[in-house]
Amino acid sequence: MNSYQEKNDLLAKSEFQENLDVLREVYFFSEFPLEVLKVFAYLCIREKYKEGDIIFSQNDDDGRAYYILSGQARLSRSHENKEVLVRTCGENTFFGAFTLAGMANRLFSLTALTNTCCLILTREKFQDTISQFPDSRQYIIQGLSDSIISWEEKYLNENINCDSCRSIMGVSLI
């Protein structure tokens, strides 16, 4: 019995409904009106990666946002021909609000550490949807600035005593 069947039998929910539940939990999407979220949820795709598969690569503009539904992935950055581990990402991690907003080359690579399943929304579909609901553009900016501020707030709380960190603090001032 494959995972699709299992889901149908146990949860009796469509993939669309599951996607909708996920998106409502994601910071970037949570403020969008329900009618827009429904379209996002319908347009999301799921992709499975096996251990060692590259999910996205540094310097590529893959134009997709990812939400890890299951599994673990390694976020790394290649620097002077060395691969530096940034952190390990597990279930419920979301990447890609900036990618959805506009073209941006990846600064990191993400590689599956175990069998991983991601929920994916492409920039093209995201933008197509936004053009159908022009009023919802405000939520993109709001979502991005909220993300930056909450990130910096967390960073400040954790590193305020770190002398070398202070010189790069203030991303939210941009």
* Chain contacts with another protein (rule: CB under 8 A): 2, 4-5, 7-9, 12-16, 19, 35, 38-39, 42-43, 47-49, 53-54, 57, 59-60, 124-125, 128-129, 131-132
Closest distance of CB 139 from another protein, Å: 18
User: Residue 55's Cα: distance from chain center in Å?
Assistant: 12
Provide, rounded to whole angstroms, the least separation between the CB of residue 151 and another protein: 22
Is 54 or 162 the residue whose CB approaches another protein more closely? Answer: 54
* Complex with another protein: residue 47 or 146, whichever CB lies closer: 47
CA distance linking residue 136 with residue 96, whole number of Å: 18
Nearest to another protein of 13, 154 (CB atom): 13
Can you tell me the distance from the alpha carbon of 17 to that of 116, in angstroms, rounded to the nearest whole number? 20
- For every residue of 106-155, DSSP letters joined together read -SSEEEESSSEEEEEEEHHHHHHHHHHSGGGHHHHHHHHHHHHHHHHHHH
